[in-house]
Amino acid sequence: MSSLRFVHTGAMSAALNMAVDDVLLDAARAGAGPILRTYHWQPPAVSLGYGQRVDEAIDVEACRALGLDLVRRTTGGRAVLHWNELTYSFHCAVGEGPAAHPLHESSRILGECLADGLRRFGVDAKIERGSSPAHGRSGACFASTARWELTCGGRKLVGSAQRRTRGALLQHGSILVGAEHLQLADLLPESSPAESPLMLASTHLAECVAGAVDTDALASCLAQAFADRLDLSTQERTLTDMEIGQAATLVEQVYGNDAYTFRLRAHPARVRQA
């Protein structure tokens, strides 16, 4: 039986979180996957979809006033406020596991893994079987639910985005723990559509389970569910020194660089992802 590498990295800055996901994507492409990572954001941050324009997606000054990080993801979708959540990322080589299937089917498979993990944690999670994606160029990710995303009580609990690039698949997403994500409505530029549906459209774990939310226990439930559903054994491992060094370089050159975040100019470090 093949193994799933499980990496629970704890809290990191926005730029470092995106850099580590990128490094693990390369590791999966080179044959080290499948890999499941879980993590947090410190300080809280807003991540932008790869194709979003900053001025259309977020009020940068309002973010800075709250001490929030700002970063651009390699995946598409809309702005996400990462604050009191557990984030996951899954990586595997194209042709391996979920990435042996078309995008639609791989999204379903990974959605079922997430739903299984949440149910093991005690959440009555449902997988959305609607027919259309919910992502646009502006607004908030959690204001609407796309196909194969997760809901609880009819409201969106998990928002995910997938990308296939450089011979590998990356899917990452946010599992909301508390209601802090609702503050995103105050961070959108005046030109953005009204986000009053955000509260009605989304929920969080504190509303879905009784008692305090133990995110370490949730991460373990997710790892077990992914391994079982994908017929893999689980090996929990930390980041290697080499991976940490590679991520630090990407922070400096890409994810912590305003030229990439704000699209100030062409950024050659990301050409390989086109």
Place of tokens 């439930």: 221
How many C-beta atoms lie closer than 10 Å to residue 52's C-beta?
A: 23
Place of tokens 């941050």: 45
- In sequence order, which ranges of the chain are alpha helices (DSSP H)? 14-27, 54-57, 60-65, 103-120, 197-201, 205-208, 215-229, 241-250, 258-261
List, by residue number, the catalytic residues.
141
CA atoms of 204 and 202, how far apart (whole Å): 7
How many C-beta atoms lie closer than 10 Å to residue 3's C-beta?
A: 13
DSSP state of 140: B
For residue 5, CA distances in Å to 38, 121, 138, 167, 229 come to: 11, 20, 34, 18, 14
Q: Provide the CA 240 distance to its chain's centre, in angstroms.
A: 22
Q: Quick check: 41 and 12 in contact, CB under 8 A? A: yes
Which residues have C-beta within 8 Å of that of residue 63, sequence separation ≥ 6?
46, 70, 187
DSSP, residue by residue, 59-115: -HHHHHHTT-EEEE-SS-S-BEEESSEEEEEEEEETTSGGGGS-HHHHHHHHHHHHH
